[in-house]
Structure 1
Amino acid sequence: MKTQLGSTLLFLTLSISSMAQTKFKPEDTEFYSPKPPVVTVYNQVPSDAIVLFDGTTLDHWVSRQNPTQPAEWTLENNTLTVKPKTGDIQTKQTFEDFQLHLEWKSPAVIKGEGQGRGNSGIFLQGRYEIQILDNDNNPTYVNGQAGSLYKQRPPLVEVRASEDRWHRYDIIYKAPRFNKDGMLISKGTFTLLHNGVVVQNNTVIEGTTEYIGLPKMQAHGAGPIILQDHGDLVHFRNIWIRPL
């Protein structure tokens, strides 16, 4: 055993010594293909993005309750507004990993307090909610405020709206992965920039964002983006997504 161990150590020593003496050229560690695709940005939208809402049509959206029916929310002045009691809306397409951009604004007339004030949400893959909530001096539980992963992770900081009252969310999302038997291989993660400020940094998603009870981790594949009808007149604009 000692002889075998000594031989192994000698081999490793000689290998490291040989590597140290190797003469590398700059081009030995350079490669030229495959080249990354070229992406240009026009009006702040990447050329490879799928524009989910540009202010003119709801063609990419359907009713969550009945996906065979069109989305019933209000489209006016290039803005999409929740139409209370019509239900959530979701994208026709489904996604896994992606970069998502979305802008939202609280209702013009603010009513209520806490969770009853300017409430909506974005569900990633139809399961994991990033909270939308009026946050202008509106105390509530911190893992339910704007920028939180609902009932799981509060934002790192609380970001207020700019003078025009619009908020911007930029989300980089990596979906959870499951094997063929439905067993979890890796949990989902996301990073959220709120008005350009990092408020979630590679946050781990523990499972579904339940109103009551603990998260549930259920095997699934690609899923839609869902916007929530929570009964408040929350506005949306400039929604686009880049599958990664």
Structure 2
Amino acid sequence: MKMLFALGAVLLLSADPAPLFDGKTLTGWTTSTGKPVTTGWEVQDGTLHRAMRGGDILTEKEYASFDLSFEWKIAPGVNSGLKYHYGKYGQKTLGIEYQLVDAGQKADNQGKHAPGSIYDLFAADPKVLPKPAGEWNTSRIIVNGKKITHLLNGKKTAEVTMGSDEWKAALAKSKFKDAEDFGTKPGKILLQDHGGEVWFRNLKLTELTPKEGQ
């Protein structure tokens, strides 16, 4: 079934939301080399749990415009992230990152590494804070054509249009400055193994058809 819904002044046509994680298996996820996930990540009480070192995991499918919602919680002191439009840019494999980090950790780089930020590019709204380590948060990423919006627990943390002057200026100051066309291509979704425990559940993605010109 198709659905019409409004996002600001833009009308979007979408299919029904699809789960990226079925709550029971790691079907649909691979290692960075495209192999089945056999270590590091597990299904635990309906959650996708990074339990020990095993490397990042990725969706089998690539996505362009989408509305992704997910819940996450993190162990004390841990840093992680969810990347999207993940793929080859120049000589590197990279993606735009929604930063996930323990709220008790001191944010660095003027908030560009804070929870809900567009990692290393745009700081998260400092008034929007995640729940403490060990508690569930709800996040949402909307990629509508070139426009990116990050939300945390129902509140917007960051927003930008790829290719805009604002985007170009931030990119030039970031660690991605040498990555040609960074973030602008469809790519996979990645859950980061950054060395600590993190849990995900209710990962649901709706593919979007942006209004012409977006």
Report the TM-score, using the length of structure 1 for normalisation. 0.65
**How much does 1:78 deviate?**
0.8
Equivalences, count? 183
1:85 corresponds to which residue?
A: 53
**How much does 1:161 deviate?**
1.3
Change in 2 beyond 3 A, CA 1:51/1:208: farther
Is 1:218 aligned to residue 181 of structure 2?
yes
Change in 2 beyond 3 A, CA 1:213/1:63: closer
**How much does 1:137 deviate?**
5.6
1:55 to 9, 23, 37: 23
Equivalences for residues 181-220 of structure 1 within 5 A: 188-204=146-162, 205-206=167-168, 212=175, 214=177, 216-218=179-181
Whole-Å separation in 2 of the counterparts to 1:235 and 1:49: 21
> Which protein is bigger by CA-based radius of gyration?
1
Is 1:37 aligned to residue 5 of structure 2?
no
**How much does 1:86 deviate?**
0.8
Is 1:147 aligned to residue 147 of structure 2?
no
Contact preservation (8 Å) 1:125, 1:222: yes
- Residues 107-138 of structure 1: CA deviation (Å, up to 9, x unaligned): 1xx2xxxxxx3211111111111111111363
**How much does 1:160 deviate?**
2.5
1:133 to 91, 94, 101: 101
Secondary structure in structure 1 of the residue aligned to 2:112: helix
Of Structure 1 and Structure 2, which has the larger fraction of its residues in strand? 2
Contact preservation (8 Å) 2:23, 2:43: yes
**How much does 1:156 deviate?**
1.9
Q: Comparing both chains, which one has the higher relative contact order based on Cα–Cα distances under 8 Å and sequence gaps of 6 or more? A: 2
Contact preservation (8 Å) 1:82, 1:235: yes
Whole-Å separation in 2 of the counterparts to 1:146 and 1:200: 10
- Residues 184-227 of structure 1: CA deviation (Å, up to 9, x unaligned): xxxx3311110001111345455989984636233774211001
Equivalences for residues 141-180 of structure 1 within 5 A: 141=109, 142-157=111-126, 158-161=128-131, 165-175=135-145
Q: Quote the sequence identity (%).
A: 27
1:231 corresponds to which residue?
A: 195
Contact preservation (8 Å) 1:128, 1:209: no
1:69 corresponds to which residue?
A: 36
1:19 corresponds to which residue?
A: none
Secondary structure in structure 1 of the residue aligned to 2:62: coil
* Structure 1 stretches lacking a partner, 5+ long: 1-35, 40-45, 111-116, 176-187
Of Structure 1 and Structure 2, which has the larger fraction of its residues in helix? 1
Report the TM-score, using the length of structure 2 for normalisation. 0.73
* Structure 2 stretches lacking a partner, 5+ long: 5-13, 87-94, 209-214
2:64 corresponds to which residue?
A: 96
Whole-Å separation in 1 of the counterparts to 2:178 and 2:82: 17
1:185 corresponds to which residue?
A: none
Letter in 2 for 1:201: E
Secondary structure in structure 1 of the residue aligned to 2:194: coil
Letter in 2 for 1:223: G
**How much does 1:164 deviate?**
7.2
Contact preservation (8 Å) 2:15, 2:207: no
